[in-house]
Each structure stands twice: as structure tokens, then as C-alpha cells.
Amino acid sequence: MFLGKVIGSVWATQKEVGMDNLKLLVIQPMDFRDSEAGTPIIAADRIGAGVGENVIVSRGSPARTLFTDKMVPIDAMIVGIVDSYEVTQETEEEVWKSRSKE
């Protein structure tokens, strides 16, 4: 999974089978030091993530397994809203602590 920040939404009327009633959010991948890490991607959300929140995103076929009753052709899913994370970088003997909700 990767850490991302929700930065927006996408809307589509004309879509493939299985894409109905899916909330699609735009996710900016982040490293754990508040910097962006690459191009934003689009992920489905069922747990109520909002713009500005840090989320955990799972990609590939694992994301699809959440839909047991139908085929949903998605390759990215928000699987958690981050309460907090703590990262230690030993080589520089510093500790970053971060909380997404305060």
C-alpha cells in the first residue's frame, strides 16, 4: 500500500459495467515527510475519506476483491484513513512524527 493525500474528485457519467455508485477520489501519493511522490492517481472510496485527509491506498487485484457480488474493474482502493504515523530515519538520527487529523 502507499500513503496518499486526498486532493479531489472525478466524475464520469459514461462508464463501464461495475463502475456505478463508486466514489472516485484523486489521490496524491506522499512520502512520509510531507512531500509529494509522483503523479496523482484515481482510487475508489467506500469509507468516507475527504479532501485533505491522509489515506492508505491498495493497488492491483487486491483492491477488487472487496467486491464479492459483482465484477468491479478498479485497480486502486482506499483501504484506511490514517489516524497517525510515526517514521524513524536512523541514519540521520531524526524522528518524524505526523498526525493527519488534529
Residue 50 in contact with a copy of itself, rule: CB under 8 A: no
Residue of 10, 21, 93, 102 that binds a copy of itself (CB under 8 A): 10
Distance of CA 25 to the CA centre of its chain: 8
Residue 21 in contact with a copy of itself, rule: CB under 8 A: no
Instruction: Give the C-alpha separation, 80 to 68, whole Å.
Output: 19
Q: Which three cell numbers stand for residue 69?
A: 457480488
In this structure, are residues 37 and 29 in contact, taking their beta carbons and an 8 Å threshold?
yes
| Least distance CB 89 / a copy of itself (angstroms) | 6
Residue 47 in contact with a copy of itself, rule: CB under 8 A: yes
In this structure, are residues 37 and 58 in contact, taking their beta carbons and an 8 Å threshold?
no
What's the full length of the chain, in residues? 102
CA atoms within 13 Å, Cβ hemisphere of 72? 24
Residue of 21, 23, 48, 94 that binds a copy of itself (CB under 8 A): 48
Residue 94 in contact with a copy of itself, rule: CB under 8 A: no
Binding region for a copy of itself (CB under 8 A)? 1-3, 7-19, 24, 26, 29, 31-32, 37-43, 46-48, 51-52, 56, 58-66, 68, 71-90
